Structure 1
């Protein structure tokens, strides 16, 4: 074959490849552009109100949480719908207050224990209807029966523990006896003795991304730290060795979590998925001061209260949303928002239709993108028949409040505790006697809401 003919053949091949690129690549690009965004919710456990560098902590190293804030929207007045684990998670996954969702208190950590009612529609079920592959990695604590475990609540894949907490190495539930093993993958008990649960979660989460990179996916990544036991890695215990106890143990747990978040972000980048992935980061409620966590370690900053409390320190949580291709970056929003809002907000961002009255949560898409006022004129917290709170505007009324941090004593006259959050964010002084009409107004708001839940 002469050179002229060979050159002609080569150029013909190059032209054909070019034509294929012109006709197929745009089609591929069009397909990718119209693929619904992936969604990842990173839900940490017992992380305090200000416990990340970007939320005000000066003694913690959290570069990956900070990176989410740099590439997204950080909230300063974001709330969990409950001050304890299970109700907060039920609210997140249903878009309803825990009372409306049917799980106002913690679910059992024992096999056979009931949890979130199976008839409730979770965000996993809703997204699955629209072509999403759904996964859960980490803590569950929303039921320990086949119909209430993750695979029965809309998750195609699940790996983690069903109860409230486990030892990160043996994977046994140690809260009370008898000690029971608690590690599951797709409703099957699995034994991985001695393997560090934080690493197992990271590996499973990254494998989930790898296996579903070509389809829209939803991952509920429920990290079980800095909840007790405070088992950060040697690296971070060494890093914080000069810090006072118990902050040192808590800090090591927080930075261990942050490092695993970094692994997830790196995997998204390597798979070229970051631009089409909505990442939501939030703590489930305030930090713990229980004996099991050495009496503290976390911080609510200026705010009163902690886990189990309806004071700000128990329910005001760190929260971020990052979706760089569609949402603002390096932005702070001060409006009142609640974790029940994530469900309808995700549906809005994914262009999935829904009936607004299905949820007590409100889409905060416009708050995020246009800085509109809060979507909630009123919001309510139920923590038992005789312990609740209601917020209307800047006014907040608490019934029989509790303060595990004991910043000040709670008197008998504080059974109804009124505060203007804007003027007195520390919640140290009760204004109920000064504004009796405001107390009546907020009581009426709460009673009207509570009557609808029966």
Structure 2
């Protein structure tokens, strides 16, 4: 044991203790600063075939392709639902949206009752933003919400109750931004930020938030409402003639997608200018499939569309980039990843603690993100269609049975009563053209049993 002699020794000890104590906050701050920023870009209604890096050729997407080249592409990433509200809820909570009574897009109270769902996400639900905030992150939501608020639902909880420090959101939210909601609707010519400038607006909000929180890690939902209809491209550069052009035609879509790609590039360049590019995890994906699909082109050869449990409705383009950590220019065609996996995976990569009592449905797939391909080893389930009132779409061959399960190479679809069972080997038949249900009775029986049990486990609202 060191022996202290005289005033000098005691003063030296006290000074040393003081230096240690003063260092602790700085060390903690440096640890926080070393945690990565996380930006989840959730595109609205983007199909697998919309992006050049995934084989799309509708319009060049050089900036999104460059982002893909900087990181990892997953070809077997699945959204939580083939429609926006439940898909978004699955990302926020890390749980199947049916567990929180989300079944389709939120609309009026009558529509929600007809669809056998709630009017907004309860604040009792877990929230990825809340988990990150509790671990010292600054949290922001910039873009579409659509998990409560809008139309005649005026009592939806505000963003702060889900763990967000700041927000700027659209009409379909509890606190719409006046700059993009001058009237009581999704968009208007009276908006000070025009429809074609919204993605730029949300990117600007994201970069400003990061700039103001330099030294503190940030978690940001960047959820634009592009490339969802109505497609309203920039007038002076994209077309001449009547305004607006037909918001369902391909020429309008091309203009919107080109501008959206530009804004993704602005985000990446903005991160570089802030010196944050190497310490930011970027996720880029979509909430559900495309509609309209232009004869299937926007679905990239996959069957189905938005509103369908075929692959075109739920198999989404997915990019994750984190320079120096995630391998660059890599494609993983083997690893299944589900939207519910994002919460535990991003928490692991960011050093964020998840509460011990959290019982999510997702798996930590951080090893996949870091380049170690692996099968998921756990089934993935979906529902879409509790009755004929609110779910009678899409029409024709894109309309799928109402439940689905993916288990390894197999995917089974069926209705809740067990009818219309379809079985596909997705590893060999991604286009779902060869129904093997009759020839694989054992696989059909096993998966239909698991799917039925999962369906029965979901809460059902008594809305009548």
On whether the aligned pair clears a TM of 0.5, the verdict is yes
SS at match of 1:39: strand
Q: CA deviation at 1:417?
A: 1.2
Q: CA deviation at 1:151?
A: 2.6
SS at match of 1:40: strand
Q: TM-score, normalising length from structure 2?
A: 0.77
> Is the counterpart of residue 39 in structure 1 residue 44 in structure 2?
no
Aligned to 2:227: 226
Q: Distance in 2 between matches of 1:414 and 1:57?
A: 35
Aligned to 1:151: 160
Are the aligned partners of 2:123 and 2:161 in contact in 1 as well (CA < 8 Å)? yes
Q: TM-score, normalising length from structure 1?
A: 0.79
Are the aligned partners of 1:205 and 1:221 in contact in 2 as well (CA < 8 Å)? yes
Q: Distance in 2 between matches of 1:127 and 1:102?
A: 24
Q: Distance in 1 between matches of 2:410 and 2:194?
A: 50
SS at match of 1:86: helix
Q: Distance in 1 between matches of 2:261 and 2:440?
A: 44
> Is the counterpart of residue 389 in structure 1 residue 398 in structure 2?
no
Correspondence for 1:120 among 110, 125, 143: 125
Please, which runs of 5 or more residues in structure 1 have no aligned partner?
1-23, 174-178, 184-189, 240-244, 402-412
After superposition, give the CA deviation of every residue in 1:112-147 in whole Å (9 maximum; x if it has no partner).
Answer: 982111101111111000111110111110101555
SS at match of 2:38: strand
Q: CA deviation at 1:374?
A: 2.2
After superposition, give the CA deviation of every residue in 1:62-93 in whole Å (9 maximum; x if it has no partner).
Answer: 12211221111111111101000000000011
Give the 5 Å matches for 1:94-109: 94-108=93-107
Q: Distance in 1 between matches of 2:35 and 2:411?
A: 39
Aligned to 2:420: 415
> Is the counterpart of residue 136 in structure 1 residue 141 in structure 2?
yes
* Structure 1 residues 382 and 356: alpha-carbon distance in aligned structure 2, compared to 1, 3 A threshold: farther
Q: Distance in 2 between matches of 1:138 and 1:445?
A: 36
* Structure 1 residues 231 and 103: alpha-carbon distance in aligned structure 2, compared to 1, 3 A threshold: same
Q: Distance in 2 between matches of 1:317 and 1:136?
A: 21
After superposition, give the CA deviation of every residue in 1:362-399 in whole Å (9 maximum; x if it has no partner).
Answer: 11111222424222431100113471101111111112
Aligned to 1:345: 345
Q: Distance in 2 between matches of 1:100 and 1:28?
A: 41
Aligned to 2:287: 284
Aligned to 2:254: 251
Task: Tell me whether 276-285 or 433-442 shows the greater mean CA deviation.
Answer: 433-442
SS at match of 2:50: coil
Are the aligned partners of 2:33 and 2:216 in contact in 1 as well (CA < 8 Å)? no
**Structure 1 vs Structure 2 CA RMSD:** 3.2
Q: Distance in 1 between matches of 2:329 and 2:357?
A: 29
Q: Distance in 1 between matches of 2:377 and 2:231?
A: 36
Aligned to 1:180: 184
Q: Distance in 1 between matches of 2:120 and 2:376?
A: 29
Q: CA deviation at 1:356?
A: 9.2
After superposition, give the CA deviation of every residue in 1:32-77 in whole Å (9 maximum; x if it has no partner).
Answer: 6863111100000000112111010134221221122111111111
Are the aligned partners of 2:126 and 2:358 in contact in 1 as well (CA < 8 Å)? no
